[in-house]
Structure 1
Amino acid sequence: MKSTRLKFDFFSRTLNFRFEAGTSRGVLKSRKVWWISAINPESAAIGWGEAAPLVKLSIDDRPDFEEKLKNILTKAEDLDWSLEENEVLDQVEKLVSWDLPSIRFGLEMAVLDWISGGKKRFFENDFRDEFKPIPINGLIWMGDRQFMLDQIEQKLSEGFDCIKMKIGAIDFEQELELLSTIRSNFSAEQIMLRVDANGAFQPDEALEKLQKLADLKIHSIEQPIRAGQWDEMARLCEITPIPIALDEELIGVREKELLLDRINPQHIILKPTLLGGFRETTEWIRLAENRKIGWWVTSTLESNIGLNAIAQLASFHQSKIHQGLGTGKLYHNNLQSPLSIEKGHIRYQDSVKWENPY
């Protein structure tokens, strides 16, 4: 088996939002990411990965995160790294514990990128190899009514045919009004509407709210009630008038089959940074497809390094549904990259070069 020794390094960057990004966990003005490099002195190639735990959501959002990352990369330098994709994923899984999912993902990226010659390509996929665009939803951030309305109008003018609106920030009736504005002008065949409640509904009120949303022909709702309430969520998935997609419910879960069988959702949302990277996300996909559960992949405010990896993963699994990959334009100081968003699709333009992260 061919193998190599690698040297690893990392540094952080604080990415600054172009606007105040409203979420169910507060307003974000910036976020910190860690970029991981992998090199071999005998090669000019540099592999890059990204570890980007999300504040108040990732299970590895912890005070000693940087210390943990440093220790893991020190141990990684003592390994003989395989040059085969699946064996690399095996090695990362053994080295990085399950409760450090973003570090797993970042290390997977860095090693696989180095193996590919530092070309920001991780495995065979049409997005990177054939420049095939991926349809994505246009995300409407939480805020006051006018801010959300302005975003909706902008996304529609940019050619998006799938809109995802975060709800729970303002009065529910006002949110229904905003969604009604879209639906009164565009049929369900013209514009797909998704909503993300981030667990904002109480179990005893959720069904009534879902019924009101169903009148607007909503495609799906993400995480209507708070995660961890398996029995309540299972009951809701059984009687819901619109499909339910689990999101936060998957974070930190090791008993994947038990969760899917107990709740039996219509869809699951897959966020590799929060779930543990390529290997863990692929396992969720396999289990979901075996149960006829729908899925799509979503980024979680990574830089373009992480976004590129997540887009390639979605392409590799050949999902035809709109993905949640529209976060590349959020930051003033993101890396310049070949990624672009045009007419509701994310694209890889080989004519544009990657900015050096250093």
Structure 2
Amino acid sequence: MPLKIVYKPHTLHFRKEAGTSRGVLTQKTSWIIIVTDSEKPGVAGYGECGPLQGLSVDDVPDFEARLADVCGIFNELDLDVFPFNLGIILEQLIPENLPSVRAGIEMALLDIMNGGQRVLFKNAFSNNGEGILMNGLIWMGSYENMLAQVEEKLSLGFTTLKMKVGAIDFEQECRILEAIRQRFDKGTITLRVDANGAFTADNAKERLSLLSAFDLHSIEQPVKAGQHELMADLCASSPVPVALDEELIGITNYRDKFALLKKLAPPFIILKPTLLGGFTATSEWIEIANRLHIGWWITSALESNIGLNAIAQYAAKFNNPLPQGLGTGQLYTNNFDSPLTVENGHLYYKKEVAWTLPGHALAEPA
């Protein structure tokens, strides 16, 4: 029963401009993957390849051509998939420098292996309606805009807020954090910040010292990736616990992963399966982090609800008590309708709500 892959790009449009230290986002393109089985009409597995502009290893001009090549080879081989050969297919068919392709095809294969019902991992989240605690994301913007976002997230029941820093005036960012702390102590509201590598060797320690006044849970990627001596120093000395994010991207070898975490010894790492090469690759990071007593949480990377659903179900496998970064499903005007629902700062999978997905015949097999 040979499987076939088709794909189609889908451009997601943001409801509001989303500001980061790398610029302002208004839209984001993903490639929707559909795997079908000729012997099971009407059954399909869905996945999503969602490279992030300026960040993903596979953010390249000929991305779609490379995706088409992978799908063409897959379709020529008359493959079937089982738990024992899934990893072999991903490793031997999809190059390491196409992490979002590995992630998207892995999602689709897991889906069709489990009956094509969008339940890739059976657990309390996907089966029993248990929620996943999340942080509420505050995008960069004007002082007034960011304060308004804070108020919105608090009104929606979020008890952990994650604020992007490093693009507007640093003093204004500190004023926003101060305004939150004047109203809520760290026992009531947990604060995370994400610098996306915006600090420099000259100002990082001073800024981390200033930020420590606000009882922050952590700071993601204070300086740009690849500065290992500087980052190791910051991980050891920062009064705000450091969480590595971009630092992990592009590292695929198990020994290299172990060496990096051993050398930098961060308090936390943040795991984005789409950027790391899928769930198999992400599980390696988790295994190493657990061995080295490093905390971690899982974050979506601006996927549509197709990718977000898969990532949330994967995250739920681990019963990690830390808030996860899965609150991106409501960002878009043209997302796919799904059972994913945000209530009181938690993500839920409401099985009674139907999916609205693109049809199987998105494109002719490559």
TM-score (norm 2): 0.95
Secondary structure of the equivalent of 1:203? coil
Paired residues of 1:36 and 1:49 also in contact (CA < 8 A)? yes
Correspondence 1:5 to 2:6: no
Paired residues of 1:82 and 1:88 also in contact (CA < 8 A)? no
1:228, CA displacement in angstroms?
0.5
Correspondence 1:162 to 2:160: yes
Paired residues of 2:14 and 2:26 also in contact (CA < 8 A)? yes
Correspondence 1:288 to 2:286: no
- CA separation of 1:86 and 1:235: change in aligned 2, threshold 3 A: farther
Correspondence 1:101 to 2:102: no
Secondary structure of the equivalent of 2:101? helix
Superposition map of 1:221-240 within 5 A: 221-240=219-238
Superposition map of 1:78-89 within 5 A: 78-79=76-77, 81-89=79-87
1:326 matched to which residue of 2? 327
Paired residues of 1:5 and 1:78 also in contact (CA < 8 A)? no
Q: 1:141 pairs with 130, 139, 142, which one?
A: 139
Instruction: Report Cα offsets for 1:159-199 as digits up to 9, x if no partner.
Output: 10000000012111111110011111111010000000011
- CA separation of 1:270 and 1:86: change in aligned 2, threshold 3 A: farther
Provide the identity percentage: 51
Paired residues of 1:81 and 1:88 also in contact (CA < 8 A)? no
Secondary structure of the equivalent of 1:288? helix
User: How many residues get paired?
Assistant: 355
Letter in 1 for 2:75: E
2:33 matched to which residue of 1? 36
Letter in 1 for 2:285: W
Instruction: Report Cα offsets for 1:276-315 as digits up to 9, x if no partner.
Output: 0010001000000100000000011000000001101110
CA distance in 2, matches of 1:328, 1:283: 26
Letter in 1 for 2:294: I
2:363 matched to which residue of 1? none
Paired residues of 1:96 and 1:103 also in contact (CA < 8 A)? yes
Structure 1's consecutive aligned runs of 4 or more residues displaced over 3 angstroms after TM superposition are: 78-83
Correspondence 1:311 to 2:312: yes
1:253, CA displacement in angstroms?
1.4
Q: Which one has more relative contact order, counting CA pairs under 8 Å at least 6 apart?
A: 2
Superposition RMSD in Å:
1.1
Letter in 1 for 2:277: G
CA distance in 2, matches of 1:113, 1:211: 46
Superposition map of 1:1-358 within 5 A: 4-43=1-40, 44-79=42-77, 81-254=79-252, 255-358=256-359
CA distance in 2, matches of 1:328, 1:269: 18
Instruction: Report Cα offsets for 1:16-70 as digits up to 9, x if no partner.
Output: 1001111121111111110011111210211111001011110101111111111
- CA separation of 1:112 and 1:79: change in aligned 2, threshold 3 A: farther
Which sections of structure 2, spanning at least 5 residues, go unmatched?
A: 360-366
